[in-house]
Amino acid sequence: MRVVVYSSIDPAGKGIANEILKSITCKAINIPKSRFSCVNEELNIVLAEFIEDVLYFEFLDDVFGMAGIEVDYYIILSRHSAASGIKSLTVHHTGNFTGKALYGGKPYELGIANPPLAYELLRQLIKVSSKYDLNDFEVTYEVTHHGPTNLGKPVTFVEIGSSEREWVLKEAHKVLCEAVLNTLSKDLPKCTPTFGVGGPHYAKIFSERALNYTECYGHIMPRYIIKEIGNNTELLTKLFRSAISRSIPSTKAIVVLKKVRKDIKEILRRISYEEGLEYKVI
């Protein structure tokens, strides 16, 4: 089953879920800890609401396992917060590249990425947002950040940002509803699962490359993480290998932005050679 989850304390996630429930027939089932859960057999999905914040959904494997549901992957419906207040519709994978775990998950731990799913969600968000005239919203990948990080199946966040004004916007709820259902109604596209390195938090360059070159991005490490880690090449190498391995399907390419430090490029070039991955500097 494909599992779609959200938090009852999140106005964005709950609003998106309400739109989904208006669009499909969903039969009530019992998932431990959930406030509400149902199944749609036609789309092979389970929709479930929990009271915990989405950043701390570390229990998902346990509760769906207790319910006897074999999970293919998770989609988490969520709000996105940013001090900038940029209106946004975003997709990203989870993980903490550093020893800080301020927003869920464990230090130095990455969730399992699902590059084709994130890629199709990105494409659908772009397509559907124009239908609802949300042209002032930025649609983009975000880099890897926050929890949960320990789940045994891939987890992908799809979000509305960046303030409460956008979180409660009905048109935004409808856009994400349609984007998610459109994605779940067909097979995931063929694309090249890719690890991206460099750039800011909103990964515009990697988003554009995904759309133009069918590079579907799993984990993305931004420049601020590289700066924070500094010259600890042993840790960087470990994190790069983790980002590459924590992906289903397997990573096939590494794309590095040209402004990334020369020594970082050399580490990634060596790893790509050892792992048989395509390597590009752009």
> In the CATH hierarchy, which fold is given to the domain comprising 2-184?
Aminopeptidase (3.40.630)
Per-residue confidence (pLDDT) for residue 85, from 0 to 100: 82
Contact assessment for residue 8 and residue 51, using Cβ atoms and an 8 Å cutoff: yes
- Return the CATH superfamily for domain 192-281: AF0625-like (3.40.50.10700)
Dihedrals phi, psi of 120, to nearest 5 degrees: -70, -40
pLDDT in tens, the chain (282 residues): 999 999 999 999 999 999 999 999 999 999 999 999 999 999 999 999 999 999 999 999 999 999 999 999 999 999 999 878 889 999 999 999 999 999 999 999 999 999 999 999 999 999 999 999 999 999 999 999 999 999 999 999 999 999 999 999 999 999 999 999 999 999 999 999 999 999 999 999 999 999 999 999 999 999 999 999 999 999 999 999 999 999 999 999 999 999 999 999 999 999 999 999 999 999
Q: What ranges do the domains of the chain cover?
A: 2-184, 192-281
